[in-house]
Structure 1
Amino acid sequence: MSVSLTERYRHKIVTAEELRQKIGAPPRDQRVIMCHGVFDVVHPGHVRHMLYAKSKADVLVCSLTADKFITKGVHRPHIPQELRAANLAAFEMVDYVVIDMHEKPLTNIGIIQPDYFAKGFEYTAAGMPPKTAEEAAIVEAYGGEMIFTPGDIVYSSSTLINLAPPSIKFEKLQLVMERHKISFDALRRTIDQMSGKRVHVVGDTIVDSYTQCAMIGGQTKTPTMSVLFERKDDFSGGAAVVAKHLRAAGASVTFTTVLGNDELKDFVLDDLREAGIETNAVIDATRPTVNKNAIVVAGYRLLKVDTLDNRSISDHILSDMTDAVGRIETDAVVYADFRHGIFNRRTIPEFARALPPGVYKVADSQVASRWGNITEFQGFDLITPNEREARFALADQDSGIRPLASQLYDKAACKLLMLKLGERGMLVCRGADHESLDSFYVIDTFVDRLVDPVGAGDALLAYSTLAMLVSRDDAQASILGAMAAACECEEDGNIPIGPEAMHGKIDSVEKSINFG
């Protein structure tokens, strides 16, 4: 792996206490000036600000706000704090960088006691704001001086980010890999060791149908559209395709589900048998096999016709399914909830109690448009909701991503949360101490050519689960889950992703990080 920005300039990045030891207490032989900001995107206005500050002293210290205190914008900061620190440290004029773990710079100003504290001219243009006045009071109390830099050029980081959000997916990945001491060879070994891991998937089967038609026209007397039937293609979806992704990765898979007593039942059983999946199907003659049929004309989904019965499974079927969960020997159990009768407030506690001791417990809840709630799966090892499902579960449409993840992590009492953010990748929450630097990290998407995003979450769920079984390393699991999702997005349809595709994606990402 090539030397990263953070490794190259790490010697400049210090704590306030370490810096105080290096520069000593005032009065000093060398004058020290300190700047403070978010520095999410370093723009020409920042550069002029720092150049002017450096011209007034011998030592330039840049302090930046930690990620957890940045609330401007739901998905800010775009750049993690370690990368923002390294960006500043890369400037020759910057001598030291401090990541401020407080909401305001007041504490660090008191520790470092710079001779000068530099602010931009905008902080005096219309009178000194209250926050600046607080800073000035501390600086002046120990005999320091406030300096306001000239403002002949003004830029806004927020405006620049809104124009074009920065693409730093490889830098973010390298940061996570360095922090967790992961190599690309380690990722490859984890993929190769997935074969033979035992996983029991429990959940709703959905047969996804695509009825391809050609447009004929409309009726002259009524607003009725007329199409010509060409063909109908059926695919095993819902929890069934999660099982197929796990099997394609090399796992030994048992799938427990509920099917109706109809032709689609036979289609599902044949399809899963061909895929090498042991299917434990409970047949319920009182409900149909769930079918979602999209009417497609010239590539456009004209209409979707759902055939389903979302009422709760009976006590008899629940007993059969929970007995299977407790009886079948496995390394992991995945509950894939699409809220079509198997999982609900009545049944989830029974499914949780049925889990064998020592198995790795995973829950995925794809129910944002219905009455499901991922937090009903209490105390699981891994949950993988998307942002919409998280907001639905918490009735929270306003919080930033990190506070949202913190709330969900605590309410679900899980050990690992992978919060899927669509084209923005995922936010991983891995600890109850949400103030800790290691509690969160971001994995961006690795999609090179978007073809079809359907099934990305299923691929992520499968590979993250298996990676945790092999490595017990949440960073490896997150990275490989994101890579599996990217492979899926580059395929047309929900095609199970195998090890060959994953090795190709790892090779491609490693090449990009090492500049080819």
Structure 2
Amino acid sequence: MADAPRPPRLSDATRHDDATLLARAVPAVEGRRIAVVGDVILDCYRSDGGRSHCFPGGAGVIAGHLRRLGAQPVLVTQLANDGNARQLRRGLDDLGIEVHAVPTDAAQPVRTRRVQGHRITATPRQELIESPPPVTTGRIAGAITERRLDLDAVIFADFGHGTVTPELLDGVLPILRPSTPVLTGDVSGPRASLLAMRKFDLLTPTERELRRLSPSPSPLTPLDALGRRLVTELDLKHLLVTRDASGCVRYSSNGTKREQPSLASMYQTRVFDEVGAGDALLAAATLGLCSGLGIRSSVRLGQIAAAAAIAQIGNAAMGWERLHRVIAPQATSAASYPAQAASMPAA
């Protein structure tokens, strides 16, 4: 069997460039007003001893990353009337996130993972059973459009639980696009609305999601063909496709393709928990774009955030200190959870 390809060797110049990028980004992103539209999921981790740590996941952790990196996010989502939703609301309030919550009769989505040493196993994911009623979609649309003139960017994070639907996107995108400097998005799950995300500045699906949701789902279709076709059909500026441990590929509207090596591999980041890497990438890359950093620097910033996310157990919001730790690693322990973890509410 052939040896796996080694990641490119990091030079001192590369480390210096990444450190310089972080230094530029800190003041540039401060106070950016960004709406995050999507499903909030309670992410819970159960250890062998029975103790649980829970975090606002889904669109909640994207807003959390933005807040801890200095932005002013507003989260537009659905919240149920149950203990899990109340736990989520407390976690979002602790992060200082402005929340516009549309009530839903559905149960609040929960993802549970069991932590056994350094091994994490997930329970089957809950999926949306029914689409939300038109009145719910209308309230979500109203909350977005009312704020549109005060926003530097809008992120649509569709996790398949009904906050983001094709009907919502068809209704709000023609209103948002003329006044919103940056539109970005990501999808997760078979019910996601990737093909309704038109005229976006950046979409960040994984290769698996792209193949599952694209018009040509054949596993034999080359990734380049899928990527370029989606950029053309959805009129995207940029499409960034994550290819697991091998990094990303960026396709742009001008026809260019750029390979983005895995920074986690290049910096030899120890992988403790892959959950939330895509959320961190999307949050940081969006911040870069709406702060004038350009697509190359914005994607690089997102990759640093993704590398930082997998180096911790628990899908917690991260500040600049975590991103700097990727560039200048320090001794860390996987035994402790981030300070934002909260105890799981009683059933």
Paired residue for 1:193?
28
1:316 maps onto 2:135 in alignment: yes
Report how far residue 339 of structure 1 moved. Answer: 0.8
Paired residue for 1:429?
251
1:459 to 272, 280, 284: 280
Distance of 2:138 and 2:121 partners within structure 1? 40
1:396 maps onto 2:218 in alignment: yes
Distance of 2:162 and 2:227 partners within structure 1? 27
Q: Which blocks of at least 5 consecutive residues in structure 1 are unaligned? A: 1-158, 215-229, 434-438, 509-516
Task: Give the secondary-structure state (helix, strand or coil) at the position aligned to 1:268.
Answer: helix
* Root-mean-square deviation over aligned CA pairs: 2.6
Report how far residue 203 of structure 1 moved. Answer: 0.2
1:444 maps onto 2:261 in alignment: yes
User: Could you state the TM-score of these two structures normalised by the residue count of structure 2?
Assistant: 0.83
2:58 to 220, 224, 238: 238
Give the letter aligned to residue 451 of structure 1: F
1:408 maps onto 2:248 in alignment: no
Distance of 1:301 and 1:501 partners within structure 2? 21
Distance 1:302 1:441, change over 3 A: closer
Report how far residue 233 of structure 1 moved. Answer: 3.0
Larger relative contact order (CA 8 Å, sep ≥ 6): 2
- Within 5 Å, give how 1:6-405 maps onto structure 2: 162-168=2-8, 170=10, 185-212=20-47, 230-284=50-104, 286-294=105-113, 304=123, 309-328=128-147, 329-355=150-176, 357-359=178-180, 360-367=182-189, 370-394=190-214, 395-405=217-227
Give the letter aligned to residue 477 of structure 1: S
User: Could you state the TM-score of these two structures normalised by the residue count of structure 1?
Assistant: 0.57
Report how far residue 405 of structure 1 moved. Answer: 1.9
Give the letter aligned to residue 20 of structure 2: D
Distance of 2:116 and 2:305 partners within structure 1? 30
Distance of 2:295 and 2:220 partners within structure 1? 28
Per-residue Cα deviation, 1:130-155 (whole angstroms, up to 9, x for no partner): xxxxxxxxxxxxxxxxxxxxxxxxxx
On the 8 A contact 1:188/1:503 being kept in 2, the answer is no
Which structure has the larger Rg over C-alpha atoms?
A: 1
Task: Give the secondary-structure state (helix, strand or coil) at the position aligned to 1:326.
Answer: helix
Distance of 2:328 and 2:116 partners within structure 1? 38
Task: Give the secondary-structure state (helix, strand or coil) at the position aligned to 2:184.
Answer: strand
Give the letter aligned to residue 280 of structure 1: H
Distance of 2:288 and 2:303 partners within structure 1? 12
Distance 1:166 1:211, change over 3 A: closer
On the 8 A contact 2:128/2:160 being kept in 1, the answer is no
On the 8 A contact 1:429/1:440 being kept in 2, the answer is yes
Distance 1:305 1:186, change over 3 A: closer
1:487 maps onto 2:295 in alignment: no
**Higher mean displacement: 389-398 or 350-359:** 350-359
Distance of 1:404 and 1:187 partners within structure 2? 32
Per-residue Cα deviation, 1:478-511 (whole angstroms, up to 9, x for no partner): 1111111111111112122211222343457xxx
Distance of 2:179 and 2:134 partners within structure 1? 26
Paired residue for 1:101?
none
Task: Give the secondary-structure state (helix, strand or coil) at the position aligned to 1:364.
Answer: strand
Give the letter aligned to residue 29 of structure 2: M
Task: Give the secondary-structure state (helix, strand or coil) at the position aligned to 2:262.
Answer: coil
Distance 1:379 1:396, change over 3 A: farther
Distance of 1:365 and 1:421 partners within structure 2? 15
Report how far residue 421 of structure 1 moved. Answer: 1.2
**Higher mean displacement: 323-332 or 291-300:** 291-300
Task: Give the secondary-structure state (helix, strand or coil) at the position aligned to 2:178.
Answer: coil
Report how far residue 446 of structure 1 moved. Answer: 1.9
Give the letter aligned to residue 414 of structure 1: L
Give the letter aligned to residue 446 of structure 1: L
Paired residue for 1:21?
none
Paired residue for 1:52?
none
Report how far residue 362 of structure 1 moved. Answer: 0.8
Distance 1:373 1:283, change over 3 A: closer
Number of residue equivalences: 318
Give percent identity, aligned residues only: 27
Distance of 2:233 and 2:318 partners within structure 1? 32
Distance 1:473 1:234, change over 3 A: same
Task: Give the secondary-structure state (helix, strand or coil) at the position aligned to 2:205.
Answer: coil
Report how far residue 239 of structure 1 moved. Answer: 0.8
Distance of 1:506 and 1:404 partners within structure 2? 33
Distance of 2:241 and 2:320 partners within structure 1? 24
On the 8 A contact 2:61/2:317 being kept in 1, the answer is yes
Report how far residue 191 of structure 1 moved. Answer: 3.1
Distance of 1:380 and 1:488 partners within structure 2? 25
